[in-house]
């Protein structure tokens, strides 16, 4: 049975959803999500014999949201995962992440391979540390309107997304965009359609959960992850060119919008024990919700290899 509780991790009150018993699996959500995004994975993975835990990550949902933007670096986020594993009485876990949760999963495997039994990333592949700060490269490649650059301005995206929470989540989760670029005089949401009706995999109740969660937490915590992108590049310099060594797995919808600005061609070089890379035909960005059965089967196949 799925349960919820609060644990202390690194001084933060951290909300977790939890189900099952057995080897620990930690599921890390992305933006703008919470542990609810793994609702279709919790039961099937638990039924297969795993202790499945999905936290609301730092800055989201019912987990604490530090006020200082500097408290959202990749080192803090990896520390939260390691701390959670130990708080649950384990020495290691399989770590799975989607969207922003994927870089956290990949970096947990990079920085602390001793606690990662296996690592899986959905949507976002592992990436080598670039020669220049990431935002500099994004400006050169895509321009100042790219959404990750738009998110750098404190208060701007918060005001846009918070103006009408229901419209925000209907668009972000259920809508579509031709490109994640903000044009002059517009906001990020202006590039998204508002679906009517919602896609079959997304219910009004799911939107209600997002509205309630972000009505409580606000958007600043999650956006602060973006505001540390260049700082992360600086902090991760000691791991330049170091490979990810735990067993690894990657999965992405072939219609995922992140494919336009990420590179999956070098996964096997970066993650040297790659056990599989799966494209899900016809799936978009929210693949674990859109194609739950295929994702669950692929994850369990990877888990069995461990």
What six digits make up the tokens of 222?
């999650």
Which one is catalytic: 99, 107, 206, 256?
A: 99
Q: Is 40 a catalytic residue?
A: no
Nearest residue to 301 via CA among 103, 123, 94: 94
Cβ neighbors of 227 (< 8 A, separation 6 or more) are 69, 72, 151, 152, 154
Q: Is 99 a catalytic residue?
A: yes
d(CA 45, CA 49): 7
d(CA 125, CA 212): 30
Cβ neighbors of 34 (< 8 A, separation 6 or more) are 56, 60, 61, 209, 210, 213
d(CA 288, CA 296): 8
Cβ neighbors of 224 (< 8 A, separation 6 or more) are 59, 69, 71, 72
d(CA 176, CA 101): 21
> What value does the CA radius of gyration of the chain take, rounded to a whole number of Å?
18
Active-site positions? 99, 285
């Amino acid at each position: 049975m799925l349960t919820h509780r609060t644990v202390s991790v690194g001084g933060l009150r951290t909300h977790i959803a939890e189900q099952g018993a057995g080897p620990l699996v930690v599921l890390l959500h992305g933006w703008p999500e919470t542990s609810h995004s793994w609702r279709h994975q919790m039961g099937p993975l638990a039924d297969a014999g795993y202790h499945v835990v999905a936290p609301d990550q730092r800055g989201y949902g019912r987990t604490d949201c530090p006020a200082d933007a500097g408290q959202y670096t990749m080192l803090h986020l990896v520390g939260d995962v390691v701390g959670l594993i130990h708080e649950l009485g384990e020495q290691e876990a399989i770590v799975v992440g989607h969207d922003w949760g994927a870089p956290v999963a990949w970096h947990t495997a990079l920085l602390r391979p001793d606690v990662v039994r296996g690592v899986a990333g959905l949507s976002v592949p592992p990436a080598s540390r670039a020669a220049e700060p990431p935002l500099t490269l994004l400006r050169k490649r895509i321009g100042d309107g790219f959404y990750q650059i738009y998110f750098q301005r404190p208060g701007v995206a918060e005001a846009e997304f918070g103006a009408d929470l229901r419209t925000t989540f209907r668009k972000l989760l259920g809508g579509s965009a031709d490109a994640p670029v903000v044009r002059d005089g517009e906001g990020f949401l202006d590039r998204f359609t508002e679906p009517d009706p919602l896609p079959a995999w997304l219910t009004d109740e799911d939107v209600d959960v997002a509205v309630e969660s972000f009505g409580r937490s606000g958007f600043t915590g999650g956006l602060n992850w973006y505001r540390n992108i260049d700082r992360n590049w600086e902090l991760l310099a000691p791991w330049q060119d170091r490979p990810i060594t735990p067993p690894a797995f990657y999965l992405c919808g072939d219609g995922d919008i992140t494919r336009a600005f990420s590179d999956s061609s070098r996964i096997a070089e970066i993650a040297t024990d790659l056990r599989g890379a799966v494209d899900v035909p016809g799936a978009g960005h929210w693949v674990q919700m859109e194609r739950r059965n295929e994702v669950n089967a692929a994850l369990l196949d990877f888990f069995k290899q461990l």
